[in-house]
Amino acid sequence: MVNYAYLTVRPSVEFFGGVPIHYGDGFDAQVRWPIGDGILSSEFFAGFAREKLPYYELNNSRSLKYSLGYQQGSWQFRYIYAQSRLANDIPNLNDLRTTLSAAGAESAASALSLSGSLSRYHSLGAAYDDGNWQLQAAINAVNHDFVMFEDSRAAYVIVSHRFGQLSPFVGYARGMSKAKNLDTGLPAAFFSDLNTGVANVLKRTHQDQRTITLGARWDFARNMDLKVQLDLIKGNASSIFLYENVKPGWNGQTNLLSVALDFVF
């Protein structure tokens, strides 16, 4: 929504794609202090998420966010912690949970419930911009109390140098998650399809992907830019969390060429 402010066409999908909360209702407070030759800043938010995803609704999930940053000269550093107490279950899993309960696997049915569970997010990032060289780098960790979503780790780095109106850039991003298991306790001989269905649900949140980015930004006029970007996406075939409607047999490899015109007024 503020693409003109970005060096690249888009933020890293591996890093930001697993953090779907963009909106919230509540209150926030910001404080800044001069420390040494720089500025220490802190921000706190408390309220409720307001987000509807393709397969899940985050609305009414109690959320907290805290950040601590320090900026001195061309350098900026920031740590962010956020958490959300999920308010809703996934409607598409209602039939599976009902079937598990009817088969006597109450604990497995309960484990697929998201309502009341907690997700936590940590990130640490640094940025450098002296007008010519620009560097961005960050790492994050996302942990979920529930078995439905895998815990994930991600990182990215972008380096650019400005030559007049032209700023070529190169970037690398990596995202991965750790598989979780859910034992239904149902014998495979009689409940093979049901056990397979549960296993497939858990696999849906797996990610194992890296992207090499090459591109350039041309600030050809005041408040306008043109960007060309090539993303070489190298993912494992099982890495489908960041995508919708993945076709069977996809090997996880994709090359994406983007051209974007941004302007502000």
- What average pLDDT score do residues 170-198 get? 92
The answer to whether 116 and 135 are in contact (CB under 8 A) is no
Q: What's the Cα-to-Cα distance from 258 to each of 209, 214, 231, rounded to whole Å? A: 19, 11, 8
Report the amino acid identity of residue 93.
L
Query: Helix or strand or coil: residue 136?
Result: strand
Q: How confident is the model at residue 20 (pLDDT cuts 50, 70, 90)?
A: confident
Q: What is the pTM assigned to this prediction?
A: 0.89
Tens of pLDDT, residue by residue over 36-79, are 999 999 999 999 998 887 778 888 999 999 999 999 999 999 99
Tokens of 219: 């600030």
Report the amino acid identity of residue 59.
N
Output the CA torsion sign for 239, 93, 12, 72: negative
Among 45, 42, 86, which residue's Cα sits nearest to residue 65?
45
The domain spanning residue 230 has which CATH number?
2.40.160
- The position carrying tokens 């999930």 is 61
- What average pLDDT score do residues 106-115 get? 90
Q: Please give the tally of structural domains in the chain.
A: 1
Tens of pLDDT, residue by residue over 201-234, are 898 889 999 999 999 999 999 999 999 999 999 9
Range of the domain at 227: 3-263
